[in-house]
Chain A
Amino acid sequence: MATTSTTVPSAGPLAGSRSFFDRLRDGDEIARLITLLFAASVVLITLLIVYELWQGSVLPRHKFGFAFFRTSVWDPNFEQFGALPFIFGTLVTSAVALFIAVPLGIGAAIFLAELAPARLSDALEFFIDLLAAVPSVIYGLLGIFIVVPVMRDVIQPALKNSLGFIPLFKGPAFGIGFLTAGVVLAIMVIPYIISVSREILLSVPRDQREAALALGSTRWESTWKVVVPFARTGIMGSIFLALARALGETMAVTMVIGNTPAIAASLFSPGDSIASVIANQFTEATGELYTQSLIELGLVLFLLTFILNGLARLLIVVTSQRGGAARA
């Protein structure tokens, strides 16, 4: 740490003293410009996406205004379009997915990073990376052929019998719907949480653990009270990566969610999500207002991701400040 902080400022004035053309000839300036271009292109692409979505959804924005977010009728025949059921479905399925995936994923990551023998950990990591790379349509098929029947015949009846008094677990159990979509999403995002969290936990400096052990804590105490809090920011990053994936997932969700724009208290109920309805209806959509309403849904999904990412950043800033204060 100390060595790098002394070399960087000394390189600054040195580079500044040479002329632009010198730097250009040395290649430094070329490298800087090229990498700057790459970095700028990310911002540019984001802006272009927003611009395109904004331009492409002029008609529904003018016709429905904010009612687009509040109404729940989606009727191509009578040209009434409301995004609420799709926003609801996207948020509910992602929430269910994180509710299941976060404890499982972080638990597995702690085991792999802290408790498992290194060889086992590396071997399992290979399989986890493999899982993360499986195309989502495969998870959708897994959902239809395995998760849906299990949900319908085993899990949903069991939930109904034990927790049926809660509105969340009422109503007919088709096997498809919010809960199943959430479970399939959880299966899809767990590898992300495990893989990233494990790397973060492994990168916690050895002194932290040794200090905790030297103070007389057990191995679990050192893991849970020192290592995990130290890695907290990174672990949250892995959760937000998982959330981003869950929000935008299309194929796997559309195969098991039921594709009915509905807002229901029961997790057993069929519903629909933003990504899923766009994929389903865009190709056959006729009429400007219909097509543009689907594009506006894309804009809504973009905004949703943007807001949730912003909140996530805020959460990281707030918690890391509090953590810093506690450490100091």
Chain B
Amino acid sequence: MKRIAAILLMTFGLAAFFVARAVLSINGAGASFPEPIYSKWFDEYHKKDPNVQINYQAIGSGGGIKQVTEGTVDFGASDGPMNDDQLKAFQDKHGFPVLHFPTVLGAAVPTYNIPGVTGELNFTPEALAGIFLAKITKWNDPAITAANQGVTLPANDIVVVHRSDGSGTTYIWTDYLSKVSDEWKTKIGKNTSVNWPTGELGGNKNEGVAGLVKQTPNSIGYVELIYAIQNKMPYGKVKNSSGQFIKADLASVTAAAAGAAKSMPDDFRVSITDAPGKTAYPISSFTWLLIPSKFSDASKRDAIKGFVKWMLADGQNHTEALAYSKLPKEVVAKELTALDKVQ
């Protein structure tokens, strides 16, 4: 009997020891596009402040919005800003608003496979919208050839490839096409998945689209810039709002955000596709953290605010190694002010 008591005592002692040492655990869920940089950040931040452990589940932007609204996670993350209905749903449920904080930038690029064409193609907004609306059906259509003097394009049918899974990349792509084409806006619109014109092929994730484009002659599709860079895929330039053909890279995507910074609304819910600026790449977007503006647990609130502060300063230095574009300075300054709203 004494021995059992001793064992019990020891167990309780050990348990108490671990509980006392337990770190503050914060849970987030949402977009899968920024997951590599988020994992890196949460890992680095844990090294800096061993008392805070941030766990992140890349369940998708839609899931992130749902979970943060339900209150099952401490923060959410999304590639597209929450719409007014979703904001209202959060406000109605909790009695206080949820705030958007941009973290990094991403972009979508057109990638293609045309036998005999090796150079970089130039795409005008009209050409991209026409191709994806299935209005432009041949590679030697004047809308494409006019921007590509000196390249011989074949008279073959264009095969269009899109993402079949709901994704932030599709959101950016269709958001851009909605801005540059009224027909796109009224017939198809922007979303994480849309009702594509018939006859187009769907590939699952970036790998699926890239694989289909690689395998199908005369095809065109779109993938995340990061995926294209890491896999050394060829991709085309896109004409921006200043009339320049811009190749997407880390700098031209940051330039798009800087161009939009002047007109940035206070809640950061802004689309930066077709942004102004001579060097801006037009199919770019922020990705956001969704943070409730009130926390009942003060230690959680401080930990999250601490993390966001660090992410906006030191954290931004980790982005380019993982091929994400940095936030422009103007946006960082604005976010630091907005952070005070979290109480």
Contacts and interface: CB of A to CB of B under 8 A. Distances in A.
Given A260-B202, A285-B62, A77 B166 contact: no
B308 interface: no
B189 A78 contact: yes
B191 A77 contact: yes
Given A174-B216, A175-B216, A262-B198, A254 B188 contact: no
Contacts of B215: 144, 148-149, 152, 175
B192 A284 contact: yes
A212 B188 CA distance: 67
Contacts, number: 99
Interface centre among A148, A255, A279 (most CB of B within 10 A): A255
A75 interface: yes
B165 A284 contact: yes
B339 to A, nearest CB: 26
Contacts of B211: 144
B192 A260 contact: no
A89 to B, nearest CB: 12
Contact of B195 (A78, A258, A280): A78
Given A255-B204, A260-B201, A281 B193 contact: yes
A149 B86 CA distance: 44
A156 interface: no
A25 B15 CA distance: 42
B62 A283 contact: yes
* Interface band, chain B: 35 or more
Interface string A126-154: 00000000000000000010001100100
Interface string B156-193: 01010000111110000000000000000000111111
Summarize A's interface: helix, strand, loop or mixed.
loop
B236 interface: no
B199 A75 contact: no
A286 B202 CA distance: 20
A73 B189 CA distance: 15
Contacts of B66: 286
Interface centre among A144, A254, A279, A286 (most CB of B within 10 A): A286
A284 B166 contact: yes
A262 B199 contact: yes
A149 to B, nearest CB: 7
B164 A254 contact: yes
B141 interface: no
Contacts of A149: 215
A160 to B, nearest CB: 15
Nearest to B216: A174
B8 interface: no
A281 B166 contact: yes
A238 interface: no
Given A174-B216, A259-B164, A77 B195 contact: yes
Given A78-B189, A286-B62, A73 B166 contact: no
B98 to A, nearest CB: 15
Contacts of A262: 198-199
A283 B212 contact: no
Interface string A260-272: 1010000001101
A264 B201 CA distance: 14
Contacts of B188: 77
A266 to B, nearest CB: 11
B193 A76 contact: yes
A300 to B, nearest CB: 19
Contacts of B86: 286
Interface in B219-266: none
Contacts of A280: 164-166, 193, 202, 204
Nearest to B188: A77
24 contacts: A73-B195, A77-B190, A77-B191, A77-B194, A78-B195, A152-B216, A174-B159, A254-B164, A258-B201, A258-B202, A260-B199, A270-B201, A270-B202, A272-B164, A280-B164, A281-B166, A283-B59, A284-B60, A284-B62, A284-B63, A284-B166, A284-B193, A285-B192, A286-B62
Going nearest first, the 9 A-B pairs with the smallest beta carbon separation are A284-B166, A259-B202, A259-B164, A75-B195, A283-B60, A77-B189, A284-B192, A286-B62, A280-B165
